[in-house]
Structure 1
Amino acid sequence: MSGLAATSLSCPADVVKTRMMNQAAKKEGNVLYSSSYDCLVKTVKVEGIRALWKGFFPTWARLGPWQFVFWVSYEKFRKFAGLSSF
Structure 2
Amino acid sequence: MSGLSAATLSCPADAVKTRMMNQAVRKDDKVIYKSSFDCLAKTVKYEGLKALWKGFFPRRARLGAWQFVFRISYQKFWNLAGLSSF
Matched with 1:45 is: 45
CA RMSD of aligned residues (A): 1.0
Q: Does structure 1 retain, via aligned residues, the 8 Å contact 2:25–2:32?
A: no
Structure 1 runs (4+) deviating above 4 angstroms are none
1:62 lines up with 2:62 in the alignment:
yes
Identity of counterpart residues, as a percentage? 70
Which letter maps to 1:78?
A: W
Q: Secondary structure at the match of 1:62?
A: helix
Which letter maps to 1:75?
A: Q
Q: Secondary structure at the match of 1:3?
A: helix
Structure 2 gap ranges (5+): none
Q: Distance in 1 between matches of 2:77 and 2:83?
A: 9
Q: Deviations over 1:16-63 (max 9, x none)?
A: 00000001xx32122111000110111111111111100000111111
Q: Distance in 2 between matches of 1:31 and 1:84?
A: 54
Structure 1 gap ranges (5+): none
